Amino acid sequence: MKKFTSMVAAAALLGGIAYAKDVKIGVVLPLTGNIAAFGQTSKGGLDIAYEQKNTLSNGDKVKLVVVDDRGDKVEAATAVKRLLDKDKVSVILGEVASSNSMAMAPVAEKAKTPMITHASTNPRVTKDKKYVTRACFIDPFQGAVMAKYALDNGLKKAVVVTDAKQDYSVGLSKAFKKAYTAGGGEIVKTVLINSGDKDFNAQVATIKQTNPDIIAFTGYYPEAALMVKQARDMGIKTPFIGADGVGFPELVKIAGKAAEGFMYTDHFNEAAASSPEAKAYVEAFHKKYNKPADSMGALAADAYGMIVQAMENCIKAGKASDDKECINTNLRGTKGYKGITGVITIDENGNAVKSAVVNAVKDGKFVYKTTVNP
């Protein structure tokens, strides 16, 4: 019997029959810590996409190996090493914050393992990288959208609030300033803050003295919520505009009525979801979570979808679904991918070329205002 079994196995191998296997995707997210909302909402969207498709056309099963880096760049890099060395993943998905993704990228690059970040917008994440791709637009585009929206609404004098500890904020501030001044706007003051700070009264007092038309906040939602609340308490009525780092329910939970009117650029708003893919995702999200679909979840779902498409393309080419070089080539070669957040094309630098939306807080909810194309 043993001899017969061996003969059958050998015959199957010679006949080119492939046996289904597990293909692992390593996921690095801040599920706890200061920016846990980013990671938790990303995981929510990722779970939707995974439930919709987790078996490839050749029978291989996709497995997610999720690691919480607590929003810390050292832990983010360590997570990638563990996923590669211990879990033997074929692809890395993550992180959210640009600083953390920049800590992860050299590790993935050295290991020649494809990595796709769904939400890190700083251009340096993919700069000079062969194996790092992103599913989101980059800060120069996002900063230009912020600047254009402000100028189009006659807001000619701006204070820029920059989080000195976050590469995301530093890069976004630079992009906003460049586009804003090029369009005829004046930067009257740059105010520095640090992640984790709670008291912004000194910075708010400085802002009040400059009497700007607009306050461009380039950090994340915890500090944005506290600053806008303290600004309103001090009698400042100047409108705030931010970017994708502020558009979370926690902004309203922390700031309350002070968040009213806070505008921000983002990757997605379900009110603008018009494609069949986006509508199906929104419906599934509502059914599973009983709440509006958010941008981070949609971006994570898109990144996962791009990975699966890359794996399927490898299978069609006669290669293994976990062939790292093949997956990376197909990720970097993505053209016209019909995602939940829009149509995605990856340029020669690994960056996504896609549209952005502008939202605003109205009656405690995030309301869609307009879409801006690249």
Distance CA 83, CA 65 (A): 8
User: In sequence order, what are the residues at sequence separation of 6 or more whose Cβ sits closer than 8 angstroms to the Cβ of residue 87?
Assistant: 24, 26, 65
Distance CA 272, CA 189 (A): 34
Strand-pair category, 157-163 with 22-29: unpaired
Question: 191: part of which helix (H) or strand (E)?
Answer: strand 186-193
* pTM, two decimal places: 0.88
Instruction: Going residue by residue through the chain, which has 374 residues, state the pLDDT in tens, using 9 for 90 and above.
Output: 444 444 333 433 444 455 789 999 999 999 999 999 999 999 999 999 999 999 999 999 999 999 999 999 999 999 999 999 999 999 999 999 999 999 999 999 999 999 999 999 999 999 999 999 999 999 999 999 999 999 999 999 999 999 999 999 999 999 999 999 999 999 999 999 999 999 999 999 999 999 999 999 999 999 999 999 999 999 999 999 999 999 989 999 999 999 999 999 999 999 999 899 999 999 999 999 999 999 999 999 999 999 999 999 999 999 999 999 999 999 999 999 999 999 999 999 999 999 999 999 999 999 999 999 88
For residue 185, is it left (φ>0), alpha (ψ between -120 and 50) or beta? Answer: beta
Query: Within 13 Å of residue 284, how many CA atoms lie on the same side as its CB?
Result: 20
**Cβ neighbours, 10 Å, residue 101:** 31
Pick among 3.40.50.300, 3.40.50.2300, 3.40.250.10, 3.40.50.720: CATH of 18-137+274-355: 3.40.50.2300
Pick among 1.25.40.10, 3.40.50.2300, 3.40.1190.10, 3.20.20.70: CATH of 140-266: 3.40.50.2300
Domain ranges of the chain: 18-137+274-355, 140-266
Question: 163: part of which helix (H) or strand (E)?
Answer: strand 157-163
22 CB-contact burial (10 Å; exposed 0-12 / middle 13-18 / buried 19+): exposed
Residues 224 and 169 sit within 8 Å (Cβ to Cβ): no
CATH topology identical between 18-137+274-355 and 140-266: yes
**Cβ neighbours, 10 Å, residue 68:** 18
Residue type, 23: V
Distance CA 134, CA 143 (A): 17
Distance CA 334, CA 308 (A): 12
